[in-house]
Structure 1
Amino acid sequence: MKKKWLIVVIVLIAVFFLIWVTGPREKTTPSLKEKAKVSEIKEKEEPVQSLPVEDFEKLYSQAKKLISEGSFLEAKEIYKRLIQEFPDNSRLSKLESELWDLNIKILFSPLKDEYSTVYEVQPGDTLSSIARKFKTTVGLIKKSNNLTSDIIRPGQRLKILTAKVSIIVDKSQNKLFLKINDEIFKAYPCSTGKFNSTPTGKFKIVNKLIDPVWFKAGAIVPPESPENILGTRWLGLDLKGYGIHGTTQPETIGKQVTQGCIRMYNKDVEELFDIVPVGTEVIIID
């Protein structure tokens, strides 16, 4: 009996010894992943080096000069640098607004940027077929290429937006943000629903109308009527009765006053109308 217990004890000792010899050791050197994490933390801890104020004025003047010369792409890069280098500048909101206006100027011009391509018109092409192919709008193609009619010819080269367009509506700010890829391309003031009636969630644009008719409690209110609160454009969402539209009451923009729709200045919704195609994602947040 004692002999059996002795054998068991010896076996257990041998097992524990093997585990100790071959088992995992405490790491003495960090892995590549850990090194990357440490490097990332160190980078975050390093303070952002801001430019002197005199450099701000110099760069801002340079950007303005470039705009006056029509060098919009170069001016845009300076604006982006100014916003990054001077996040606490008192003129930050002005810089952002001017950058957003510059974005639209570039978008509505033949200037090719990182969001566009140049397409050569093929036999049988129409503006509508090209717009469908690239998931953009006829209005944007015309504006981007200074076209005054829908007539195009084979061999003609057209600037076409190829990036993804989306919309975010922030109810707390009463702001509508147009995004192209991951960039906030422009922000627009808007009105949202009173008593928090604008629904939140992810939607998409399913129809677009110029000078929409308003069906008010069974009555038809024509586009030219001052009582037609839909204004000059309608972008319908995939939630019946809800959409993004213009207004005949511009004094209400920036307030929570609607029946649930998103209301914009007519000039702003007309601009947006030309940019966003049917199928565009719309995210509404509190």
Structure 2
Amino acid sequence: MTPSLLRGPLARATLLFGLGTVLAAPLHASEDLPRGYYPLPEEGDLVGEVYTVVADEDDTLIDIGHQHGIGYRAMVRANPNVSVWYPGEGTEVTIPGQFILPDAPRTGIVINVAEMRLYYYPPAEEGAQPIVQTYPLGVGRQDWETPLGNTTITEMVKDPAWYPPASIRREHAESGDPLPSVVPAGPDNPLGTRKMRLGIPGYLIHGTNKPEGVGMRVSHGCVRMLPEDVERLFDQISVGTQVRLINESFKLGWSDGTLFVQAYPYLDEKQGTTIQRVTEALDLVGASVDGLDYPVDYARLREVVEVPGGMPVALETPPEPKPAPRFYEQLELVTADASRADAETPRQEG
């Protein structure tokens, strides 16, 4: 989406320049598409763009991120030197709004837990360009991990009541914050205004009454969405919609003949060490360029894996500059040019 369309009461957008080969050329969404909607590329795997906004006096980093469809952790990674609670009027804030599409079938809903993002591929109308929608998520914390696997939507409820499971009621009671047996619909309901039950028993996609937790590992395993996002998604899907939950912390994708990588921190140490991450990345990149004459920048690849920043990075080695002529070669060229100019200058008689 073009930055001019992303202006809102929280910030005004300006393009982010000077990132060299780190960022892909942006794929702009059509001007009539809402936030988070992108044309599905016919060839390639990248959507969106990275840009900056200028903070207003009352903005927080969380508010700015939500205004542009980005969750908490992604905003903090993209703006390590900006205060979360008071960026300050006039501060430039980076919006990491470019994404490599997950390595999964582009149908239904795909939830990448490592990325804390949901991708929805609505059925394309005849003659219309296919699109993808993407939204930030809150996912399960380390002791209540969001499950992985393929499932479907089995139930959809507007303005749901919440019946806290016994395990959650026990946890709250132990911390001195007892819960009632039922929380009615309303502003105090943790499920927000929409609930979509998954075929995996006990797990939901739902809204929230605490949007600041979107983009963090804060839930008891369910998937939380911003209030406006969950309502928009709810209105487009139905019981039976396919849902894939994956944990893809390392994504590869092509755009205009260039290979890009997008990396996120592992959710926990059980997924491996840094050396194992680097080795796995090398294997995946090697498979992607197998049989191609492609100049992979392996030094940049290692940097991305060791310090995952969550933004697409180009893995193409820049061409080596031609060596400058040696001093005497330069002197010979200058002397030759001077001699030629002298010979071509008409001599005056007299």
Instruction: Flag whether TM exceeds 0.5 (same fold).
Output: no
TM-score by length of 1: 0.44
Rg larger in structure: 1
Q: Which has the higher contact order (CA 8 A, sep 6+)?
A: 2
TM-score by length of 2: 0.37
